[in-house]
């Protein structure tokens, strides 16, 4: 079937300086690249105009522009216009908010584990602001950190030859002056994660894990074992320390992921292979697509429900082919 479905990076137009932006007008006219909104969506939300200048509305039964084209267009537009943003955060927050909008959710949570000085959390908050404004979904932002830098490594699995207690400290007072609504959750993640799960928050749609240690990542992954009510059926995850020296299957985040997968048949973490081929050309050679995973909650009551991320549902015969 090769060639039957155009790549999401081939239908579109090249803007100034070679930045790719999908042509949403062509998508809307073609009728081939649309996703159906949930028939049971209990509300109506207007979506502001996209970078291509075309407005869409989310209503019960309304067909929406293709998910991938929409978030890629928004990503390229935002990355070229806003300072202090990170493409892995912006794209992931947009993905979570778009899926939430298509499935009738009014809000979603996004989380950063490992805040350090705070640049990442500020970037995540900026991405949340844009997602709220453009997709009409409230995005709650949480940052987990000790507030005092790294704890002491526990054993060789934490790569103690690279890091030690106190690395990556936080100036909490200064960081709070830079945040508008993101919430800091300070303390050992082994204690703060269970406390977080005992509270009520919008379903989690994206998590960034940048805790450096195997032990801290293992403790943070408990958040994906919580009640399904805390999670979207599939949660995008970014793991910062999975590539390059000295990370592998026997230390750091990769070991924590392997143990997580061994612990349950109903919850699994899987690498997203070939994600770069679904991204704008501007992100094709970046490292972050190789560090993206999806956390599956197979026991989620809505796991099998459509989420609106399909590329197409038809493969019609081209005119003039065959007889």
Q: Give the DSSP per-residue string, 181-209.
A: S-EEEES-HHHHHHHHHTS--PPEEEEEE
Do the domain assignments include residue 189? yes
The count of domains in the chain is 1
- The pLDDT, as a whole number, for residue 82 is 74
Do the domain assignments include residue 267? yes
Domain that holds residue 164: 85-297
Do the domain assignments include residue 203? yes
pTM here is 0.82
Nearest-CA neighbor of 92 among 125, 121, 127, 116?
A: 127
Do the domain assignments include residue 193? yes
Q: Residue 291: give its domain's CATH number.
A: 3.40.50.150
DSSP run (H or E) holding 236: strand 231-239
- The pLDDT, as a whole number, for residue 140 is 98
Do the domain assignments include residue 1? no
Digits of tens for pLDDT over the chain (323 positions)?
A: 333 333 333 333 323 333 333 444 344 334 433 444 443 333 333 444 333 332 333 433 445 689 999 999 999 988 887 778 899 999 999 999 999 999 999 999 999 999 999 999 999 999 999 999 999 999 999 999 999 999 999 999 999 999 999 999 999 999 999 999 999 999 999 999 999 999 999 999 999 999 999 999 999 999 999 999 999 999 999 999 999 999 999 999 999 999 999 999 999 999 999 999 999 999 999 999 999 999 999 999 999 999 999 988 888 988 876 55
Whether residue 179 contacts residue 121, with contact meaning beta carbons closer than 8 Å, is answered with yes
Do the domain assignments include residue 99? yes
Radius of gyration of the chain (CA): 20
Omega within 30 of 0 (cis) for the link into 49: no
3-state secondary structure at position 28: helix
Bridging pattern class, strands 231-239 and 183-186: unpaired
DSSP 239: E
The span from the CA of 235 to the CA of 227, in Å, is 14
Bridging pattern class, strands 45-47 and 34-36: unpaired
- Which residues neighbour 109 within 8 Å (Cβ) at sequence distance 6 or greater? 139, 140, 141, 142, 201, 202, 203, 204, 205
**Residue length, the chain?**
323
- The pLDDT, as a whole number, for residue 314 is 86
Do the domain assignments include residue 134? yes
Do the domain assignments include residue 59? no
Locate tokens 């924590």: which residue?
A: 256
- Which residues neighbour 195 within 8 Å (Cβ) at sequence distance 6 or greater? none
Whether residue 175 contacts residue 117, with contact meaning beta carbons closer than 8 Å, is answered with yes
């Amino acid at each position: 079937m090769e060639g039957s479905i155009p790549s999401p990076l081939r239908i579109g137009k090249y803007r100034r300086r070679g930045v790719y932006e999908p042509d949403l007008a062509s998508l809307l006219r073609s009728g081939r690249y649309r996703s159906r909104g949930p028939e049971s969506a209990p509300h109506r939300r207007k979506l502001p105009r996209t970078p291509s200048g075309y407005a869409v509305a989310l209503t019960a039964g309304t067909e929406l522009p293709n998910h991938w084209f929409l978030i890629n267009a928004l990503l390229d537009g935002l990355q070229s216009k806003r300072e202090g943003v990170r493409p892995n955060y912006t794209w992931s927050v947009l993905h979570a908010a778009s899926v939430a909008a298509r499935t009738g959710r009014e809000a979603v949570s996004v989380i950063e584990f490992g805040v350090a000085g705070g640049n990442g959390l500020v970037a995540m908050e900026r991405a949340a602001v844009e997602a709220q404004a453009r997709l009409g979904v409230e995005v709650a932002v949480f940052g987990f950190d000790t507030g005092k830098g790294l704890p002491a490594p526990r054993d060789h699995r934490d790569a103690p030859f690279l890091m030690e207690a106190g690395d990556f400290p936080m100036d909490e007072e200064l960081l709070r002056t830079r945040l508008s609504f993101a919430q800091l959750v300070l303390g050992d993640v082994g204690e703060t994660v269970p406390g977080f799960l005992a509270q009520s928050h919008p379903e989690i749609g994206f998590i960034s894990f940048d805790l450096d240690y195997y032990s801290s990542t293992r403790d943070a992954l408990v958040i994906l074992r919580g009640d399904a009510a805390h999670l979207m059926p599939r949660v995008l995850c970014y793991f910062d320390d999975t590539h390059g020296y000295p990370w592998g299957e026997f230390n750091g985040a990769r070991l924590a992921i392997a143990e997580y997968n061994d612990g349950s048949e109903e919850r699994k973490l899987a690498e997203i292979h070939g994600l770069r081929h679904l991204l704008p050309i501007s992100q094709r050679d970046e490292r972050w697509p190789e560090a993206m995973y999806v956390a599956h909650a197979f026991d989620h009551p809505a796991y099998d429900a459509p989420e609106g991320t399909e590329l197409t549902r038809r493969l019609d015969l081209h005119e003039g082919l065959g007889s």
